[in-house]
Structure 1
Amino acid sequence: MPKDFRATTLERAIGRQLAGWRDERELSLTEAGQRVGFSSAKLSMMENAVQPSAPVDVMALGYVYKVPTPEWQAVVLRAQYAERARARSGGDGLNFDPAADFANLVFEATLLRVFTTDLVPAAFQLPGYTNAVLQDDDPVRTARLAMVREAWATRLTDRDPLAVRAVFPEAVLRQVIGGPRVMKAQLLHLMEVSEHETVTVRVVPRGAGAYPAMGSPFTLLGFPHRQHNDVAYLETFIKGEYVEEPGLTEQCAHRFASLQEMALGTGESLELIAEAAADL
């Protein structure tokens, strides 16, 4: 393993796939390791992406688990790409889709710092609100947003729950999406989730003027493993993108801190949300 290994999101997706293969066959780490000739520790580190998954090891697991050949070959190709990518930059990750993978990262994260510019954060959206945003014509994205909601809800009662720090401008509260009834339900839900001790919701008032990252929404994810750096997620209606270079994620963290300084406190933000709901 490299001296200071930091798993990319592609390598983490590979590990998740390996764990999925084993779970489908209802094998323990020890049982699977014995079959393939790995220690259970090595297999666990591969699945959790705390060490790289060598293509030959992926191939061996695919063979032992009797995974359909095209399926394990696709994962081997990704492992080969991930291996080469450590020595160079560029490429498309063999069609690795961050938008499809994002809910998995949310499930694994311990901290989300979310800045939105025109919508309620995905983790807190009600289905009616999401459907109104997407106008029922994007079932794939609708399903992905539902997975993000589910990931947050699942982690809410964990021993190590997912903390969410959300900041957005007041315009998010005033844009009546889906009509007054849908929007009021969404605002009341936002008030409800903000009562959780692991959630903070802060609003940038419309009188604040220009603010950092204006017009550029992003989510910054933090993780428990030392080998997993912070990851920024950016999305347009065309595609999603991960940003993993530490210097760039540090810029996101700095801008988020600046946004928090400009935003109202949690109590004042809650009052503003309640006021917007009462106006509907």
Structure 2
Amino acid sequence: MGKPFRPTMLERAIGRTLGDWRKDRQFSLSEAGRRVGFSTAKLSMMENAVQPSAPVDVMALGFVYLVPAPERQQLVANTEHARRLRRPSAGEMGVLFDAVGEYGRLELEASSVRAFRIDVLPGFFQIPDYITALAKADDPLRAAVVAEQRIALREVRRQRLTDKNPLVVEVVLCEAALRQTVGGPRVMRAQLLHLIELAELANVTIRVMPFAAGAYPAVGSPFTILSFPHEQHDDVVYLQSVRRGSYVESPEERGPYMVRFTALQEIALTPCESLELIAEVLGSF
């Protein structure tokens, strides 16, 4: 028996897009399957990336859903590329889909997030004023639009922290992330108070890497590890630069990140000590 199918981030993005196309047409799985000649089970497996999608099937669905030709052709090209990636001569993944845009949706699907941050707080911890200040500093011309999008996503993220099956969050923050005055003292006071409130949730664990710790694993390299409830969806490591995001998916490549995150947790302050330091920094603003 061969290895069970494990979808790549690209294949999961393809499945998600197929689901979006169907919902835009307001078709149920059974109605869509009847129109294209697929069983409901096959269509569900394609949308959930339980099996690889064939380019011809994606093309057929695009016609049935009346998707504009350029968008339909792009997804077919993505599907062909995903199939090539499974061959020994596969090239790099990530050039045909928006890794940064997909991250927000992956985070909402995740069962747990482990994040290491150096000088900025994770998105799911940020308050609106902190988000707006970051957007203005990074991209002044698009700040209003970017901030609006991120604040809307923040509301969904906030719900994930407190819903029936809450997202489990483990974070290691460098002390610099607490002391970087984003948006001014007033904003930082509100932001740190919010951080303390979140730390009281049973599913949220915050550890701070103090300046006094000196050198530590993964120095200068923030990263996020996402885990998922579906047994066929492996853990993935997300990395982001100024303009591009990327995913580390193979067990051999993501392993070092897992090891380093555990080491970071061991070196950082305990959750109780971390709260004390956060309160201390709060008092300085």
Q: What is the letter of the counterpart of residue 255 of structure 2?
A: E
* Counterpart residue type for residue 237 of structure 2: A
C-alpha offsets along residues 130-170 of structure 1, whole Å, 9 cap, x if unaligned?
Answer: 22223252446545644652442232243322111010111
Q: Choose the corresponding residue for 1:227, options 229, 232, 240.
A: 232
CA distance in 2 between partners of 1:214 and 1:91 (Å): 26
After superposition, residues 27-42 of structure 1 pair within 5 angstroms as 27-42=27-42
**C-alpha displacement at 1:3, in angstroms?**
4.0
In structure 2, the CA distance between the partners of 1:146 and 1:231, relative to structure 1 (3 Å rule), is farther
Specify the code of the residue in structure 1 equivalent to 2:19: A
SS at 2:243's partner residue? coil
Q: Bigger shift: 107-116 or 128-137?
A: 128-137
Residue 70 of structure 1 corresponds to 70
* Structure 1 pair 91–265 and aligned structure 2 pair: CA distance change class (3 A): closer
- Contact 1:100 1:144 (C-alpha < 8 Å) held by counterparts: no
Hey, what does 2:135 align to over in structure 1? 134
Deviation at 1:91, TM superposition (A): 3.9
Q: Does 1:110 align with 2:111?
A: yes
Quote the residue 1:55 is aligned against: 55
Unaligned runs of 5+ in 2: none
Asked whether the 8 Å contact 1:78–1:94 carries over to 2, the reply is: no
Kept in 1: contact 2:111–2:227 (CA 8 A):
yes
TM-superposed deviation, 1:108: 0.9
Aligned AA (2:32): A
Give, as a single letter, the amino acid of the residue that structure 2 aligns with 1:149.
R
Gaps of 5+ in 1: none
Instruction: Go from structure 1 to structure 2 and tell me whether the alpha carbon gap of 1:73 and 1:233 turns closer, same or farther (over 3 Å shift).
Output: same
Q: Contact 1:167 / 1:259 at 8 angstroms: preserved in 2?
A: yes
**What SS does the aligned partner of 1:201 have?**
strand
Q: Identify if the C-alpha distance between structure 1 residues 148 and 241 changes in structure 2 by more than 3 Å, giving closer, same or farther.
A: farther
Deviation at 1:214, TM superposition (A): 0.9
Rounded Cα–Cα distance in structure 1 between residues aligned with 2:91 and 2:151: 31
Counterpart for residue 203 of structure 1: 208
- Secondary structure of 1:252's aligned partner: helix
> Alignment partner for residue 218 of structure 1, among 214, 219, 223?
223
Aligned equivalents of 1:206 and 1:91: distance in 2? 37
Equivalent residue in structure 2 for 1:170, among 158, 163, 175: 175
Give aligned pairs, total: 279
Report the residue type matching 2:6 in the other structure: R
Partner SS state of residue 207, structure 2: strand
Map of 1:17-32 to 2, 5 A cutoff?
17-32=17-32
Alignment partners' CA distance in 1, 2:46 and 2:3? 16
Match of 1:95 in 2: 96
Check 1:245–1:38 CA distance in 2 against 1; reply closer, same or farther (3 A cut).
same
What letter matches 1:76 in structure 2?
V
CA contact (8 A) 1:50 1:227 kept: yes
Q: Is residue 2:247 matched to residue 1:246?
A: no
- Report the CA distance between 1:101 and its aligned residue: 1.2
Contact 2:35 2:64 survives alignment (8 Å): yes
Q: Normalising by structure 2, what TM-score?
A: 0.92
User: Quick one: distance in 1 between partners of 2:100 and 2:199?
Assistant: 26
What is the DSSP-based 3-state SS (H/G/I as helix, E as strand, rest coil) of the residue aligned with 1:105?
A: helix
Give TM-score, length-normalised by structure 1. Answer: 0.94
- Aligned to 2:44, the other structure's residue is in SS state helix
Q: Percent identity?
A: 54
